[in-house]
Amino acid sequence: MEKLLITGGAGFIGSCFVQRWIEKQNIDLVNFDALTYAGHLASIGGVAENPRYTFIHADLRSAKDIEQAICEHRPSMILHLAAETHVDRSIEKPNDFISTNVMGTSILLEATLHYWRTLSASEQEGFRFLHISTDEVYGPVGRKRVVTEADAYAPTSPYAASKAAADHIARSYQQTYGLPVMIAHPTNNYGPRQFPEKLIPHFIFKILRGEDLPLYGDGMQERDWLFVEDHCCALETLLFEGLPGESYHLGSQIVRTNLEVAQQVCTQIDRQQTAHPGESKERITFVEDRPGHDHRYALDCGKMERLFGWRPTISFEEGIATTVQWYLKNPQWIETVCQEYQGNRIGLL
């Protein structure tokens, strides 16, 4: 019986993936998550009652817990999403990122290797470990240049450095032991159920509280914006069709500056919430920049389309409209996940 073990399935991308998977695939899913401030069962919804779904509340950094989960459930694939993910938090507490992203990944790989060695030759061949990295491991990219999967890493933030270290360890398990590891590099994701510290839900959160929208620096930082459903579709493709030892860039080629993102969020909020039309854009304010803020990331994402015909389907305008609508309709979710979060600025020196 095939089974997928996912780490971090109660987070933003993980919860979207879990919901899609249970609806579309006939393969059981085990969600291993520590439920940090960024992981919430409220994001999983009705999936929790599905007999094909199992939740394990445990920490990746506990070798005992991860070994037990793997030995008991005997997955045929592992999707590794769990991580500390917010750059501003990594500036405040870098060691938390080394601990979860580097040590946690290393512990997971070691447990996976032990288990994989107990499988038959055909099970070993079919097994897949999909490790989720980020575009940030390449560091800032100069104008008119894009990076390919073959480019060298040059991370600048503690978050990106911890993800880069985890990638190197994951790749070494493929090269040294033959563990069938693949690495995905998604660009900036957005969509429903993202914790309101991240750019797009942060703007929505601030507007809903009647506060100003803080734009770091001049707001001209460029990012590629990938709707989370499109991303999860790509991850499914890789689990079934990806090749061990390969890396894959996952992006939309929809590039917007942070200022353009803020303006689009305001347009949608004003369109959908008619109480104070046209007011939101006046709330955009420029604040001190993030230390070491990368100006531009740019990935060449042609490999996914060439090999698997995957390409994103959601336009930026449609994705932002869907996202804004979701937050407007789910104040209860915001209240539940933000009990200890007031939207205060962190990550300044």
Binding site for ligand NAD (CB under 6 A): 7-8, 10-14, 33-36, 38-39, 59-61, 81-85, 100, 104, 132, 134, 163, 186, 188-189, 195
CB of 57: closest distance to ligand NAD in angstroms? 9
**Cβ-based nearer residue to ligand NAD, 116 or 159:** 159
β-strand 128-132 against 181-186: which pairing, if any? Answer: parallel
Is residue 245 classed as helix, strand or coil in its secondary structure? coil
Is residue 3 classed as helix, strand or coil in its secondary structure? strand
Rg of the chain over all Cα atoms, to the nearest angstrom: 20
**Cβ-based nearer residue to ligand NAD, 100 or 270:** 100
Question: How many residues in total does the chain contain?
Answer: 349
**Cβ-based nearer residue to ligand NAD, 180 or 201:** 201
CB of 124: closest distance to ligand NAD in angstroms? 25
**Cβ-based nearer residue to ligand NAD, 58 or 284:** 58
Q: Which of 28, 33, 84, 136 is catalytic?
A: 136
CB of 5: closest distance to ligand NAD in angstroms? 12
Question: Which residues lie closer than 8 Å to 309 by C-beta, 6 or more apart?
Answer: none
CB of 157: closest distance to ligand NAD in angstroms? 12
> In whole angstroms, how far apart are CA 25 and each of 3, 19, 265, 272, 320?
11, 10, 33, 34, 27
Residue 159 annotated to the active site: yes
CB of 192: closest distance to ligand NAD in angstroms? 12
β-strand 128-132 against 77-80: which pairing, if any? Answer: parallel
CB of 270: closest distance to ligand NAD in angstroms? 25
Residue 340 annotated to the active site: no
**Cβ-based nearer residue to ligand NAD, 11 or 180:** 11
The distance between the two most distant Cα atoms of the chain, rounded to a whole number of Å, is 64
Helix (H) or strand (E) holding 181: strand 181-186
Using a 10 angstrom Cβ sphere, with 0-12 exposed, 13-18 middle and 19 or more buried, the burial of residue 259 is middle
CB of 50: closest distance to ligand NAD in angstroms? 18
Of the candidates 122, 40, 55, the one whose C-alpha atom is nearest the C-alpha of residue 341 is 40
Residue 135 annotated to the active site: yes
Helix (H) or strand (E) holding 29: strand 28-33
In eight-state DSSP terms, residue 290 is P
Q: Which of 28, 33, 84, 135 is catalytic?
A: 135
* Axis-axis angle for helices 228-241, 12-24 (nearest 10): 60
Q: Which of 53, 115, 138, 159 is catalytic?
A: 159
Sign for the pseudo-dihedral over CA of 213, 216, 220, 222:
negative
In eight-state DSSP terms, residue 153 is P
80: β partners: 7, 131
**Cβ-based nearer residue to ligand NAD, 43 or 270:** 43
Concatenating the DSSP letter of every residue in 7-28 gives ESTTSHHHHHHHHHHHHH--SE
Q: Looking at beta carbons, which residue is closest to ligand NAD? A: 11
**Cβ-based nearer residue to ligand NAD, 96 or 246:** 96
Active-site residue list: 135-136, 159
